[in-house]
Structure 1
Amino acid sequence: MLTARQLLIFKYIVEEYIATAEPVGSKLLMTKYNLPYSSATIRNEMSFLEEQGYLEKTHTSSGRIPSMKGYHFYVETLLQPDVDDKVKNQVSTLFSDRNRSIQEIIEESCQMLSQLTHLTTVALGGNSSYEKLQNITLVPLGSNSVTAIIVTDKGHVENRIFHISNEISMEDLSACVDIMNDTLIGTPIDDVANKLEKDVKPIMSIRVKEHEVLFNAFLQAFMKFAKSNVYFSGKDNMLYQPEYNDVNKLRKLVSAFENAQQWKSLEPSKDDERGVVVRIGGNELPFNDGINDVSIISTSFDTGENSRGSISVIGPTRMPYDQVVSLVELIGENIEKLIKDENNEK
């Protein structure tokens, strides 16, 4: 158990390091925070906090920085909510517009979080096995291209652009879409590929001239759809964090962002703990390539009867936890409320 003095000194060290990314010394603490203790007393307490594993000494300075254990302790015992009224109003405005799909709301929430925190965010939609195909629509883009818009009953949208060669007519494309709408509407997205092969392809082979090319194109679109529930915003924000001035470290991080499959481990199951989850460095992260000084703050929300999604903020372990935890919690609560309201209206 830490004393009140040790807690105060520890709190100021964490918050100073979060703000400056510079190791914190006893003289700075005494002068900047007007502590009523001598520099020697503060040094002694810092040494004790280091012995207990809450602080670490860097090689380049006599100051201290928080350890992984220290960040965990800070989050679990000293965190204070920090969302001002202006930000709350921004969030309310985002969720007051009901003329958008759930997927659009989640993506815009992701964008808002990255803008407010100046960090990277990732959203994971619900498991696609609980989404059903609602409609496929064709929209001409020009003389040689068309986009197919695939929509699920959860408001998830996927676009697939087809560049039409001379061998493929617009009539063939329209016939494909009509066959799929007649055969596949109401099918879970994860089952569409099998049903395409089993039920749709035989019909297309009879009614559509270039059926093989079109069949493969739509099959790829649906396979991508079932895997495309990972959405990032603000990837570039990590470039401006001093922790990632090291080129090798930055390369690893960028590679992690490109590997969407790694982030699937953040996808919550229906039995997972509710509320905000804070992962700080090391083995708690979804990466397997030696990235340690990263924290991920996540919250989950129900997207259907058996499906859950999540939204997370990714940043250095030196991130403003009080602000980020509060924002993630606020956004998550609003997403879940919106989804419940939409389901109740159906």
Structure 2
Amino acid sequence: MIEDRRLNVLRAIVEDYVATQEPVGSKALVERHRLGVSPATIRNDMAALEDEGYLTAPHTSAGRIPTDKGYRMFVDRLAEVKALSGAERRAIETFLSGAIDVDDIVMRSVKILAQLTNQVAIVQYPSLTRSTVRHVELVALEGSRVLIVVITSSGRVEQRIVELAQTPGEGLLGDLKSRLVRATLGERLPEASLRLAELIDTFEVDDRPVVSAIVTTLANTFSNERSDERVAVGGTANLARFGADFDTAIRPVLEAMEEQVVLLHLLGEATVGPHVRIGRETGRDDLSGTAVVSSTYGPDGESFAQLGTMGPTRMDYPATMAAVGAVARYVGRILADG
């Protein structure tokens, strides 16, 4: 019973500190929360929580604020993910459903996530290497050029133009397209790339230069991993809203936002559903005042990439976790429908 009561005191302090940005005292807890005990008991509980490393006193006043350990306890044992309002859910669905391609989906996801959380939003572009081949098209252009179009299960459209040494006939292009589709449809891109090499020797010798040029370009497209390292960032202006206690952390956050690799590292090994890293759990001492909430996204529960938010450790974790989870689910549905 004592442990449960102290956990309730910790929950109340975290919620009040996030709301007010001020250290929380026993008097405030009595006035704002029905804890069912006297102020003296609450003070004893606060002292015990401080001794255990869950709270700290920023100065000599009686108020306390949560430590990273306190936030971790709050997230792991106390926080209940807030349900988004109907208006918020409709806003996400309406805004994201208007996207015209995967790049537009990413940019819209960044914008809506930053708006919902009032934090910095980070969205990784869908990984080509984790995608499967949905469609391959060959289009004869003027002269001896051929346009290769690849559509992946992540909704990404890749286009390449091949300059050939000779103009291919319609029959050869049609036959090559059919074989390419049979060999690669539904395959993950790395595996599809390996299967392409086997096709060249199945064509007549005179056709192999054309086939080889197209197949080589297509294989290079399948093995291109640049999208794995691309992220979009939004909500930078929200840094100004975090309060004076976050001023010293703004510069490291801005520096981190300039490095794609750092941002991917901050998202961490995200899981399906919100994953929270607090303070030094981010792996960077200069971001010790920062927390990251992230999740993977993809169609039908697959993991194509990650998205999340970055803000002060003093954040509304339940609301942020709800927003990150909801946007990840909606993006996954859109990719699945695409």
TM-score normalized by structure 2?
0.69
| 2:149 maps to 1:113 | no
| 2:82 maps to 1:84 | no
Residue 38 (structure 1) shift: 2.9
| 2:317 maps to 1:333 | no
Distance 1:253 1:69, change over 3 A: same
Partner of 1:3: 3
Give the residue type in structure 2 aligned to 1:290: D
Name structure 1 gaps, 5 residues minimum.
136-149, 160-175, 193-221
Distance 1:157 1:56, change over 3 A: farther
Give the residue type in structure 1 aligned to 2:256: A
1:88-99 to 2 correspondences below 5 Å: 88-97=89-98
2:298 aligns with one of 294, 299, 302: 302
Residue 304 (structure 1) shift: 9.8
Contact map agreement 1:123 1:232 (CA 8 A) in 2: yes
1:1-346 to 2 correspondences below 5 Å: 2-33=2-33, 35-59=35-59, 61-82=61-82, 83-97=84-98, 100-130=100-130, 153=152, 154-156=154-156, 177=161, 179=163, 226=227, 229-242=230-243, 243-246=245-248, 249-265=249-265, 273-282=271-280, 284-286=281-283, 288=284, 290-302=286-298, 308-342=304-338
Residue 337 (structure 1) shift: 2.2
CA distance in 1: counterparts of 2:113 and 2:228, whole angstroms? 23
Give the residue type in structure 2 aligned to 1:320: D
Distance 1:124 1:134, change over 3 A: farther
Contact map agreement 1:268 1:309 (CA 8 A) in 2: no
Residue 118 (structure 1) shift: 0.6
Instruction: Tell me the SS of whatever aligns to 2:310.
Output: strand
Instruction: Tell me the SS of whatever aligns to 2:295.
Output: strand
Give the residue type in structure 1 aligned to 2:240: L
CA distance in 2: counterparts of 1:11 and 1:303, whole angstroms? 35
Distance 1:306 1:273, change over 3 A: closer
Structure 1 vs Structure 2: percent identity of aligned residues? 29
Contact map agreement 1:103 1:155 (CA 8 A) in 2: no
Aligned residue pair count: 276
Give the residue type in structure 1 aligned to 2:91: Q
Distance 1:306 1:8, change over 3 A: closer
Name structure 2 gaps, 5 residues minimum.
138-148, 169-176, 194-222
Partner of 1:146: none
Give the residue type in structure 2 aligned to 1:257: M
Contact map agreement 2:278 2:292 (CA 8 A) in 1: yes
Give the residue type in structure 1 aligned to 2:282: L
Residue 230 (structure 1) shift: 0.6
Distance 1:151 1:295, change over 3 A: farther
CA distance in 2: counterparts of 1:241 and 1:296, whole angstroms? 14
Instruction: Tell me the SS of whatever aligns to 1:314.
Output: strand
CA distance in 2: counterparts of 1:250 and 1:151, whole angstroms? 41
Residue 95 (structure 1) shift: 4.2
Give the residue type in structure 2 aligned to 1:62: A
Distance 1:317 1:233, change over 3 A: same
Residue 237 (structure 1) shift: 0.9
Q: What is the root-mean-square deviation of aligned Cα atoms in Å? A: 3.8
TM-score normalized by structure 1?
0.67
Q: Deviations over 1:93-136 (max 9, x none)?
A: 23444x6223322321221010111101101123344568979x
Give the residue type in structure 2 aligned to 1:279: R
Instruction: Tell me the SS of whatever aligns to 2:163.
Output: helix
